[in-house]
Amino acid sequence: MIKPRHTVRPRAGRTARLLALVAVVGLLAAACSSDDEPDDPITVYSGRNEDLIGPLVEMFEEDSGIEVEVRYGSSADLALLIETEGDATPADVFISQSPGAMGYLATQDRLQTLPASVLDSVDALYQAGDGTWVGFSGRQRVLVYNPNLVDPADLPESVLDLTDPAYDGRVAVAPANSSFQDFITAMRFDSGDDAALAWLEGMAANNSPNYPKNSAIVDAVLRGEVEMGLVNHYYLLRFLAEDPDAPGINHNFAPDDIGSLLIVTTGAVLETSDQPSAAQAFVEFMLTRQAQEFYASETREYPLAAGVQPPDELVPVEVADVMDTIDFDVLGGGLARTQELIEQSGIVR
């Protein structure tokens, strides 16, 4: 009774096998040919979140006709992914939320030198010394405070003054956060390791409450759990957008103070990119007037190119004064030593 099926089976099997073969060959062909096709999508690994950069990616796609596939993640995880993928990485462009993760890839020789057309549009302060990455936009370091708990007259002109005993227990820090570590690295290159360590020890002696990251500090300040905290300016704006009545104000240090450092979002083209010109076009687009105005007006950040003015709530930084002693290039590479100093100072509680 099973016999009739037996006579059919071999043919069905042959067809199935043929189909499978066609499918495999097709897949392989697609995989091999994909590298040479000029109008292939480029792949961007972005440490900057989709909510903040997605609209710009769409603008670029419309403008250039180049399709973009974006993989979002934390900058550190994506840098590790690129390192682990090695030559096989599908990424053409890497965007890092802070210079640290970008510097990590730069020290591993994973980045291409960008063409002069890209490098020329950004101040030399906001690009790698060897031309492997450029800054797109900046987040300013500020002191966020709760006006119900703090008299604005008590706020200092310099971040260095926060070690004064008058601020004992009142200033929150995020020692494990990359922006804080970038800030300490900048301080090291501005005034030396000893001065940076002394400041950290002063903050430790002042019992500075620890938080995991910027947003946690701003949240705690708004709730009144802590009076003030060292953060990037952007987070308060977001909290106020969600809850306009929340009690928080960003205090800017003096324009030439190290405390007013800009933490830049950076972009680079990977050494292994198979479409370097499309990838460079993507990076270049982020420095156009259109994109820079988006940073200033939509994400309320410090624009770095095309002469676009910063948003009103940011005090214009006298850029050269803060930056001319800082080699931004070293912000990435020097982070291991920064972490040692932070640990040694006892600020981690």
Partner 1 sequence: MDAGRLFRVWGFGLGLFFAAPLGYLVYENVRLRSDILDILGVGRTWGPLGNSLLLAAAVSLAAMVVGTALAWATVRLDLPGRRLWAALAPLPLVFPTFVGATAFIALLARGGLAEQVLSPLGVGTLPRLQGFWAAWLVLTLFTYPYVYLPTRARLRHLDPSYEEAARVLGRTPRAVFTTVTLPAMLPAVSAGGLLVCLYTLSDFGAVELLRYETLTRSIYANRLFDRATSVTHGLLLGVVAVGVVVVERWLARRRAGGFAATSDRPPPRTNLGWLRWPVCAAVVAFLLLALVAPLATLGYWAGRGIANPGRRVGAFALDAAGIATSAASTVAVSAVAAAVTVLVVLPLAWLLVRRPSLSASASNLLVTASFAFPGIVVALALVFWALQVPFAAVIYQTLPLLIVGYVLLFGAQAANAARAAVGAVPPRLSEGARTLGARRWRRLRTVELPLMTPGLLAAGGLVFLSVMKELPLTLLMRPTNLPMLSADIWDSTESLFLAQAGLESLVLVAASGVLTWLLVLRRSEFA
Could you list the residues that contact partner 1 (CB under 8 A)?
27-28, 31, 43, 49-52, 55, 69-74, 76-81, 84-86, 88, 90, 100-101, 104, 176, 209-212, 215-216, 219-220, 222-225, 235, 237-239, 241-244, 297-300, 335-336, 339
Q: Whole-number minimum distance, CB 290 to partner 1, in Å?
A: 15
Q: Whole-number minimum distance, CB 349 to partner 1, in Å?
A: 9
Burial call 302-341: b when 16+ CB within 10 Å, e when fewer = bbbbeebebbeebbebebeebbeebbbbbbbbbbeebeeb
Structure tokens belonging to residue 108: 């591993």
Separation CA 231–CA 172 (nearest Å): 9
Considering the complex, state which of residue 85 and residue 161 has its C-beta at the smaller distance from partner 1.
85
Separation CA 163–CA 104 (nearest Å): 31
Amino acid at 155: L
Considering the complex, state which of residue 115 and residue 247 has its C-beta at the smaller distance from partner 1.
247
Q: Whole-number minimum distance, CB 67 to partner 1, in Å?
A: 11
* Residue 269 three-state SS: strand
Separation CA 23–CA 176 (nearest Å): 49
Parallel/antiparallel/unpaired status of strands 249-251 and 134-145: antiparallel
CA distance to 90, 93, 208, 265, 280, per residue, from 66 (Å) = 16, 13, 49, 22, 12
Considering the complex, state which of residue 12 and residue 27 has its C-beta at the smaller distance from partner 1.
27
CA 299 to chain CA centroid, Å, is 13
Considering the complex, state which of residue 34 and residue 309 has its C-beta at the smaller distance from partner 1.
34
Q: Which residues touch 152 (CB under 8 Å, ≥6 apart)?
A: 145, 249, 251
Q: Whole-number minimum distance, CB 69 to partner 1, in Å?
A: 4
Q: Whole-number minimum distance, CB 56 to partner 1, in Å?
A: 11
Residue 127's DSSP bridge partners are 134
Q: Whole-number minimum distance, CB 123 to partner 1, in Å?
A: 25
Considering the complex, state which of residue 37 and residue 77 has its C-beta at the smaller distance from partner 1.
77
Considering the complex, state which of residue 90 and residue 131 has its C-beta at the smaller distance from partner 1.
90
Question: Could you tell me where the beta strands, DSSP code E, fall in the chain?
Answer: 42-46, 68-72, 93-96, 134-145, 171-172, 228-232, 249-251, 262-269, 302-303
Separation CA 154–CA 147 (nearest Å): 11
Backbone angles phi, psi at 223, to 5 degrees: -80, -15
Torsion of CA 271, 288, 315, 172, to 10 degrees: -40
Q: Whole-number minimum distance, CB 166 to partner 1, in Å?
A: 22
Separation CA 347–CA 339 (nearest Å): 11
Q: Whole-number minimum distance, CB 342 to partner 1, in Å?
A: 11
Considering the complex, state which of residue 139 and residue 156 has its C-beta at the smaller distance from partner 1.
139
Considering the complex, state which of residue 237 and residue 254 has its C-beta at the smaller distance from partner 1.
237
Considering the complex, state which of residue 100 and residue 202 has its C-beta at the smaller distance from partner 1.
100
Is the CB of residue 77 less than 8 Å from the CB of residue 98?
Answer: no
Is the CB of residue 249 less than 8 Å from the CB of residue 315?
Answer: no
Amino acid at 36: D
